[in-house]
Amino acid sequence: MTTLAIDLGGTKLAAALVDSELNIIERREVMTQAGQNPDALQACLTELVAPLAFSAQRVAIASTGIIENGALTAINPDNLGGLAHFPLVEVLTRLTHLPCIAVNDAQAAAWAEYHALTVEARDMVFLTVSTGVGGGIVSNGHLLVGAGGLAGHLGHTLADPNGPRCGCGRRGCVEAIASGRGIAAAAQGKLAGCDTKTIFARAAQGDPQANALVQRSAQTLARLIADIKAATDCQCVVIGGSVGLAAGYLPLVKEFLGQEPDIYHPQLFAAHYQHNAGLLGAARLAQEAMP
């Protein structure tokens, strides 16, 4: 059976046909600016899935935000402005007439990455450093979703009580500092208004401010990883997202984690499925739910 997998992120919206061995047969991607209002998002989803839906037997959505009863609610509305509540499963069922499930993007990615591990692990945590900072926890071989879908939202743990205000309402969340949005928001002077991809490029050219912003993100993530190790005793942490997978970022996180005591060091890996972890995790969960 073929799954139509969709990954709705704060920046990108991807859709793919995935076969029963979890190979991607066809993939399309657009920007998520349409997330600014529900009608625009619906129009964007319609255009994206129309050419793919005929070849699929089920739909699997990985989406940023808290997913409860098939609907998306942003914990950080700044990442997906205007979408306080969006009925993902209802909309996709109407568009495709196929059975459909939805799950948080980082939870989905955690499930795909757990099954791709090359080391023995009962417990692992996936972190995406992307528009936001998302997380998914696998404990004793089970994916934690939580009664209300909130499990694994590690980007909203505290990094600095005096840090910048996060869109979720707290001050100093990991996400407010380490995420793509957080990095760009802290840029000043000649970097003000630059996106995070540009800031990484400037850091690679030796720009001191860009370098400091990237280091601040990596150090914040390393401290989060030490906290995760203390909380879960996971054997490994897998990092994804366009910031997490950017050249040089993971080595920097490893360097900062090295400054923490050994007991707080899980093994660190880059996502095996790279930018497709969310798509493939949702497809796997759909296969399991609708064999």
- Binds ligand BMX (CB under 6 A): choice among 96, 131, 220, 276: 131
Pairing of strands 267-270, 236-240: parallel
Using DSSP's 3-state secondary structure scheme, residue 65 falls into coil
Residues contacting ligand ADP: total by CB under 6 A: 17
Contact 143, 289 (CB under 8 A): no
Tokens found for residue 104: 């948080």
- By a kind-dependent CB cut-off of 5 to 8 A, residue 106 interacts, out of ligand ADP, Zn ion, ligand BMX, none, with ligand BMX
Nearer to ligand BMX, 53 or 113 (CB): 113
Residues 6+ apart with CB under 8 A from 221: 127, 129, 133, 174, 178, 239, 244, 253, 256
- By a kind-dependent CB cut-off of 5 to 8 A, residue 242 interacts, out of ligand BMX, Zn ion, ligand ADP, none, with ligand ADP
- Binds ligand BMX (CB under 6 A): choice among 4, 5, 6, 10: 10
Alpha carbon distance 279, 29 (integer Å):
12
Q: Does 276 bind ligand BMX (CB under 6 A)?
A: no
From residue 41 to residue 70, the character string flagging contacts with ligand BMX as x (rule: CB under 6 A) and all else as - is: -----------------------xxx----
CB atoms within 10 A of CB 102: 30
Sort 32 into a burial class: Cβ within 10 Å, 0-12 / 13-18 / 19+: buried
- By a kind-dependent CB cut-off of 5 to 8 A, residue 217 interacts, out of Zn ion, ligand ADP, ligand BMX, none, with none
- By a kind-dependent CB cut-off of 5 to 8 A, residue 80 interacts, out of Zn ion, ligand ADP, ligand BMX, none, with ligand BMX
- Binds ligand ADP (CB under 6 A): choice among 96, 131, 157, 219: 131
Question: Look-up: residue for tokens 């009962």?
Answer: 122
Residues at the site binding ligand ADP, with contacts judged by CB under 6 A: 9-12, 32, 130-131, 180-181, 195-197, 200, 241-243, 246
